[in-house]
Structure formats: structure tokens, C-alpha cells
Amino acid sequence: MNTVVLSLLAGTSDGSAAPQGGAFLQFLPFVAIIAIFYFLIIRPQNKKQKETQRMLGALKKGDKVVTIGGIHGIIQNVREHSVVLKVDDNVRLEFNRSAISSVESVAKEDKGGKLEDKRDEKPDDSEADDK
């Protein structure tokens, strides 16, 4: 009885055992699908999560940020689990660090101790026109 069931599962009709490579070849498509999922879905998601954690850990006073809700502001105070954003002259809001979606630009201090906004500027198109 057991040999009949095994032969049906192995795909043979005479009761002889399937060749050793047959079982591996049957599982090869599943292994390929798992590898595709890993390289196309899981690995990029892990990289993005690490990049986001690095960005949240590097937040500092003076950074211009955007929250998940779309509120733009400048960081006034950084706490362990939250940040205080200045969104207008007399308006300050406190958000969890995880609510920060991106850093727009970083404000740098110049030699006079004054905050100066350093935005990412586009390169001049005049150089491209000369070619």
C-alpha cells in the first residue's frame, strides 16, 4: 500500500522510486520565486527602512523638514522621541520623530553664528548650452 502511494506521489506507474534529481527539479520553481521576492521586494524595503532610520537619527536643530501630513517646518528642538517644529512666527508644533517624512534642506551655521539656509541648487544650464 505504501509503495503505491509513494509511486503516485513520485509520478511513476511501475512502483520504482523517482530519480534523485526529480525532487530537486520540482522545488526549483519555488526556490526561484522566493529568490525573486527577496531581491525585488524584501531587500529594497529593508534598505529604505534603514535609510529612513538613519535620516531620523540625524535630525538636528535648524533642519527644514516635511511631516507625513505635509506640514513644512524648521526643527527648533530635538528630543528623544519627538521634535518641535516652527511652522510660523509664533507657532510651534511637536511631532513624533516617525512623523517626519523627509528633510528638505539643512541649515548650516556660518562663522558669525547666524543660521544660513543651504538649499540644493540646480546646476546652471548655461554650461549645457555651450556644448
Confidence band of 24 (pLDDT split at 50, 70, 90): confident
Q: What is the pTM of this model?
A: 0.57
Q: Is 123 helix (H, G, I), strand (E, B) or coil?
A: coil
CATH architecture of the domain covering 60-114: Roll (2.30)
pLDDT digits (tens, 9 = 90+) for 65-93: 999 999 999 999 999 999 999 999 999 99
pLDDT digits (tens, 9 = 90+) for 3-17: 655 565 666 555 555
Instruction: Name the CA dihedral angle for 10, 13, 16, 20, rounded to a multiple of 10 degrees.
Output: -30
- Alpha helices for the chain (secondary structure H): 2-10, 20-37, 43-57, 126-129
For residue 27 the three cell numbers come to 522545488
Ranges of each domain in the chain? 19-57, 60-114
Q: What pLDDT score does 43 carry?
A: 96
Q: What pLDDT score does 76 carry?
A: 95
Rounded to an integer, the average pLDDT of 40-63 is: 94
pLDDT digits (tens, 9 = 90+) for 104-125: 876 555 444 455 545 444 444 4
Report the distance separating Cα 95 and Cα 101, nearest Å.
11
Sheet holding 72-78, edge to edge: 91-96, 82-88, 72-78, 64-67, 100-109, 115-118
